[in-house]
Structure 1
Amino acid sequence: MRKLWAAGVLAGALLLAGCGDPGAGGEAPEPVPKAPGAERAERTPSAPPPSATSTTRKRIAAKPAPKVLYLGDSLAMENQDVLGAHLKDRLGARYRSAPYSGTTLCDYLEGTGKDSLVPDADKAAALIRAERPDYVVLQFWGNAWGYTPCMDGITYDKAPGKYFDRYAADAQALTRQIDAAAGAGRTRVVWVLQGPDAITPDRVRRVNALYQARARASGGLVADAGKAVAPASARYSWAEKLPCTSYETKHPAYCTEPGRNLTALHRAKDYLHFCLAPTTAKSRPCPVRSPGIRRMASAITEAVASDLR
């Protein structure tokens, strides 16, 4: 088992070097995002997908369009354009994203200074004060390899107890900073639950439990995006491919093996990321249609939409 874990750590390190740490709706497919010419923290999709159903439009017409801020690690980095397209199309949302690959919760805490991978201007509280969003979506796999300095070398494999204690403390500190920054203008935190971990499935199960507990304690929301990329009968069993959803069957670009009714969620040998394009030295939004990313974006959008109904 130690050999398997060591292999996972090595694979994780290689993935970090390339792209960072590591539902099905009724709308038509979004356009393929274009690869950026330069790295930017804030991105918006060049063209949103076609209009959502009139029923959805009527439900949100009575309320102002929500303002959504999306923060997170390399999974958020690759998801950001597709999520922005879904939020804008379904909810008319105003949207900003500021993900940084390789990060974890402590990177977005104010006061971490040089020991953080996130600059001061993009800390969660700083962006809340500047943007005044209605929702802040937090997408963190749960850096387990000590890649980010603010974790002070605490890793899951060496000290799982300290790792979970620290992660819970950082989640509490982050929600407190967000609430303080929001002031009278309430910002709801949306905790994104993660998909299965191929190496240590119990780690993600416990990380998700921490997110759920923090949401209950602070009045936040939970978006189970991880469920959308897990087998229907085994929430924490990792799978490279899954059966195509009805949406993917109707839109062949998202059903990668239609003859077998299967679609790829991951590239071979990349058990963490969901972008079907190869990782690059500079992290980027995913430049190709990727079923896993679309599934997660749909689940996050639905969580926000449900709260607005």
Structure 2
Amino acid sequence: MTLVAQSPDTAAVRDAARRIAPYIRRTPTERSAPISELAGRDVFLKLENLQRTGAFKIRGALNAILQLDPAARASGVITASAGNHGQGVAFAAKLVGVPACVVLPHGVPIAKLVAIQRTGAETVLADGGYEGAHESALRIAAERRMRYVPAFDDDEVIAGQGTVALEVLEDADVDTIVVPVGGGGLVAGIAVAVSDRTPRPRIVGVQADGASAFAASFEQGRVVERDAATIADGIAVRRPASRTLRIASPALDDIVTVSDEAIARAIVLLIERQKLVAEGAGAAAIAAILEGNG
């Protein structure tokens, strides 16, 4: 592996934590008795399902939006997303008082469309799946001079996501952090956040068998594109960013994949034994731990 990590640094993550603190929920990090029993070791859950919008994505969105100058804020922000990132950008923009536009692919679940519209953000539907939505968003951003907020390919977004790890390490004594991986924004942020810790916790990334582009890229030391077909749509990314791969790779101790069946079992386990509702992306980390790969 010849990839060398660059910006952001740990100071950027700490600055992000201070910047976004007034706007987010500081979610709990709790030991799970049933999962610890099944895994044979202490397992702590970082409950970002209790975050505003129900996912960690608002952290990176807020960190990016809060650093805009007044002229950029007046022009507004735009992104392309069919899921949590779009909701995160829309809600973050509402909190800060910035106009927002989210471009979504035709066929997006109506519940996700409505959730974004309820924030007051403009929504645009585009043909061509996510790629078509992305291209449309970039075109609109250029036409309106709006700031495009990527889902993961952005230093400010990565630093914001890394604040998750700062809270985990404040709340629990952990030697390993198991991270669901899609495009790599969260794992890159966590890699940066823990990089100055001694001892540094191990970082294990988790992908779905049917959406393993980051794992393949990590193994080959270059960006690799793969099909993405999994029930864990939050990590169903066909191609990671070179930025996230470069930042995360030096700190990743391992990256594993799990089946959709294992993810489904983890979702049910969290409901039945932990009384928690988690989407497939988050449950993927539990699936890996229960298979002994965390």
Above 0.5 in TM-score? no
Higher relative contact order (CA 8 A, sep 6+): 1
Between Structure 1 and Structure 2, which shows a larger proportion of strand residues?
Answer: 2
Which is helix-richer, 1 or 2? 2
Task: Report the TM-score when normalising by structure 1.
Answer: 0.29
Report the TM-score when normalising by structure 2: 0.30
